[in-house]
Structure 1
Amino acid sequence: MTPLATVSLVDVASYLPENRVPTSYFTQYAKTDRMAKNIMFRAPTWRHHVAADETAVDMAERAMAPLIERRGAAEVLGVDILLTHTQLPDLPVLGCGSELAKRMGMKPEWILDVHNGGCASFPYMIQLAQMIMSTTTAKSALIVAVQNAAGQGMTQTEVRKLAQATIPGDGCGVGLLLKSDEAPVLGVLARNYPEFAGDMTGEVEPARKYWEPGEGQWRIAFTEAKIMKVFARGNRLVPEVATALCDELGIKPSTVDTFVTNQPNRLFLRNWGDALELPAERHPDTFDECGNLFGAGIPITLDVENQAGRIKNGSFVLMSAFAHAGDFAAAAAVQWGAEPTL
């Protein structure tokens, strides 16, 4: 096996849409919904929604802007690898990678749209970038996680009445990786659980395939039985992959300086922090301001904490997340090196 190259996460940046939406937007439309009492659907205080004409590429460009300002256009736009994850592709068959490269004048040798990473896409893209840099001449990568399903999917006239609509928010997070040892990626662990594949489903009434014309508005299908299964899996998978990675590195999880996860709801966040025996200040999130950001949750939270000066260079940062209904999970550990300079 080819030894892995030493790769560093040297900077992160993010973007949140201007439209900051209170929970009251949804409560004015709410109907009697048994799911509203479920712990999975306790609403955040705020969430941000994409504008009607805002594309995934628009969001990625805006997230990249502070990165370009800090690092320079040549370094950011001259990367060899561009990896993107888009929660709701603007065109069903394509992610935004090639269009983003075209708009920004980029000429990366590698462009990959990573569809299956879901909420765990950021650590997964770190792993993919490291693997590519270890087996090719590539020396730099830009990873982009776009969450754009809230303002477009959850505000549909029928969907916005449901408890599940209040949870997601939109945003984009990006990371710059270099083949260097200045802020090394210490390890990445990704696990597939194909036995849970297909457990995340969509529905529309009257029934039809999502691309077929007809009445009704498509949404993710939730039942109480399915929610309990996903809850049990999520509770287990995130600390499981995080702890397994720490074991590989010979580190006790309770000594982690900053633990950043995906953020489906407050209960998951509390349980995951408890599982690693970490106080809340070492397990930050942006849930009350941003809601569930899916794959963008990790890089956006990292950027918020970093710009606030709460992640110090040299500190041990651990990321962990599970995707969909539990068919994938990933964790990544880095020695932080992106602390803002004064």
Structure 2
Amino acid sequence: MGQSNVSLIDVSSYLPGEPIPADYYAQFAESDELRDNLMFRAPRFRHHVGADESAADMIERAAQGLIERHGREVIEGVDVLITHTQLPDIPFLGAGGGIAHRLGMHPSTVLDLHNGGCAAFLLGLNTARQLLTAGAGRTALIAIAQNAAGQVFDQPAVRGKSQSSVPGDGAAVGLVTRSDTSPILDVECRTYGQYAGDMTYAVDPPRKWWQPGPGAGYLGFTEDKITKVLARGNRQVPEVALAVCDRLGLSAADIALLVTNQPNRVFLRNWREALELPAARHVDTFDQCGNLFGAAIPVNLDHAIAERRVKPGDVVLMAAFAHAGDFAGAAAIRWGGRPL
């Protein structure tokens, strides 16, 4: 069976709590040398994970749409479970086992991915396609939880920083099967390990993230780092997207919908311009959800399908980069339609 016989047949998502407006962060804003940087222009709204809401809780809620449309037995019968949690609930332990239990699954393979970051859904698609093609089973579930906004960026000592008003929380799942229903046409994954050290976690006064002490942790951004990340993201996402298009012989006119991660408005604009696509063909929920990190692609795809922005037979192109540019991925599917 060829790789084209593996399909992403549906996605379902979940946004926690009520929308939190930009005014919430404005009241805490401190003097910050990065305050006016384009990287940190706040969205109008975002959502925050609940105080006692776990990654497994979020995924269980996100999966309800799949259960309603495909039946609980389909989810319970999944052979391969692939997960990514932005902020693991417990050190050392991935969320895969807990998610499998919550959904009544007994998968033969459970993988907790971490290096995929904002492109984790694409890494999950590639991994699921390879495993199912190799005979690991007939069905895979990709589960992504972004839960850092309400837990890291809303800490009292952090939420006054410019970086804190951009992230939002959410979760999504994708159902992948061996079928021709909604075929994965191609996937491109690239690792840029030389940039891995540029993503840092800072605490003032300095200490290792796991050591007890005063001060709250946050992402260690500087003007120089931001300049490098902007340059890498602007380059990498079009590169991997165009690599997929070139192999498939696709032009801009053939792409019905572009779905990307959404760090900020600048990246969103630059990516669609680089791919010569109008805004109407690029899913953008930034002002409703903020930066959803790894959950952005499946959440946005779910919203686009629900809004009937994609129809059966359309080619959907997905692309993203992760962290400070150490990973990027792209994938194309021919959408087969959602069960009513």
Do the structures match in fold with TM over 0.5?
A: yes
Correspondence 1:175-186 to 2 at 5 A: 175-186=174-185
SS at match of 1:36: coil
How many residue pairs match? The answer is 340
Correspondence 1:1-342 to 2 at 5 A: 4=3, 6-339=5-338, 341=340
Identity %, equivalent residues: 55
Q: Structure 1 residues 340 and 279 mapped into 2: Cα distance closer, same or farther (>3 Å)?
A: farther
Output one character per residue of 1:63-106: Cα deviation in whole Å (capped at 9) or x when no partner: 00111011001112211000000000001222211011112221
Output one character per residue of 1:231-269: Cα deviation in whole Å (capped at 9) or x when no partner: 000000001100011001111134310000000000100
Output one character per residue of 1:260-284: Cα deviation in whole Å (capped at 9) or x when no partner: 0000000100000000000001011
Q: Which runs of 5+ in 1 are unaligned?
A: none
Contact 1:94 1:113 in 2 (8 A): no
Contact 1:46 1:289 in 2 (8 A): yes
SS at match of 1:37: coil
Relative to the length of structure 2, the TM-score reads: 0.98
Contact 1:306 1:340 in 2 (8 A): no
Runs of 4+ in 1 over 6 A off after TM superposition: none
Contact 2:201 2:217 in 1 (8 A): yes
Output one character per residue of 1:264-310: Cα deviation in whole Å (capped at 9) or x when no partner: 00010000000000000101111000000000000000001101111
How far apart in 2 are the matches of 1:95 and 1:168?
A: 22
Contact 2:69 2:339 in 1 (8 A): no
How far apart in 1 are the matches of 2:15 and 2:328?
A: 25
RMSD (CA atoms): 1.1
Relative to the length of structure 1, the TM-score reads: 0.97
Instruction: Give the CA deviation at 1:34.
Output: 1.7
SS at match of 2:3: coil
Instruction: Give the CA deviation at 1:204.
Output: 0.3
Contact 1:12 1:338 in 2 (8 A): no
Instruction: Give the CA deviation at 1:339.
Output: 3.4
What is the one-letter code of the residue matched to 1:223?
A: T
How far apart in 1 are the matches of 2:76 and 2:85?
A: 19
Q: Structure 1 residues 37 and 145 mapped into 2: Cα distance closer, same or farther (>3 Å)?
A: same
How far apart in 2 are the matches of 1:336 and 1:3?
A: 18
Contact 1:23 1:46 in 2 (8 A): yes
Output one character per residue of 1:153-209: Cα deviation in whole Å (capped at 9) or x when no partner: 111111100010000000001100100111100000000111111110011011100
Instruction: Give the CA deviation at 1:338.
Output: 3.2
How far apart in 2 are the matches of 1:187 and 1:283?
A: 19
How far apart in 1 are the matches of 2:306 and 2:282?
A: 16
SS at match of 2:99: helix
